[in-house]
Amino acid sequence: MHPRDDEEPQIPYIPCMNDTDTALLVVDVQNDFCPGGALAVAEGDAVVPVANALIARFPLSILTQDWHPADHASFASQHEGKAPFSTTEMTYGTQVLWPDHCVQGSKGAEFHKDLDTCRAHMIVRKGFRREIDSYSAMFENDHETPTGLDGYLRDLDIRNLVMVGLATDYCVYYSAMDAVRRGYAVTVAEDGCRGIDLDGSLEKALAHMRDLGVTLTTSNRL
């Protein structure tokens, strides 16, 4: 449907940093996703200053952290004859097989050294169950097992989420999808994200987020 000539155009709602019902979610800004890491995202470290600037200004900031056991089932090394970035079928569907990354207690699992973690109100660790991967900050890849983030946000009456982090087309994307499905208004600051872009996954993720009603913007508009 097109608006009538006398109707005001629809302008996406972009939350204010002083809104008490808004939280910042910083997704997986960890060494293994930054240059030199086991699953490096191109220019992944470029999101750090954007994330830090927003952390300093938002009243509530939450960090997520991939936290895999060394024998995690999503690692290609655990599947004989399988190469990284190939796929396999899990009980919950098709799973991309990744290089070993973000192993619990490893340097690669640590947050980037320049990320301001001191102001974080909560750290959500995900992917620690061996048999199931977890892209989303809210649910593991079976879309049923919760991480606890949704309950935490509801207890605080949070209704709006602003997201930055790594990678745009995986953990940010899945976090945004689950948040929308749980009723949150979601804004993604694209300059605070970088993508893997595996077989065109970046543009597909951005298009789907738009279709879901996610607001795509830049940090200077927040």
Residues identified as active-site: 28, 126, 171
Closest listed residue to residue 156, CA positions, set 85, 59, 44: 59
What are the C-alpha distances in Å from 13 to residues 16, 104, 208, 216?
Answer: 9, 38, 18, 11
Phi, psi of 36 (to 5 degrees): 95, -10
Asked if residue 173 lies in contact with residue 180, where contact means CB atoms within 8 angstroms, the answer is no
What is the token pair recorded at 45? 């470290």
Q: Give the Cα separation of 105 and 70 in Å (integer).
A: 10
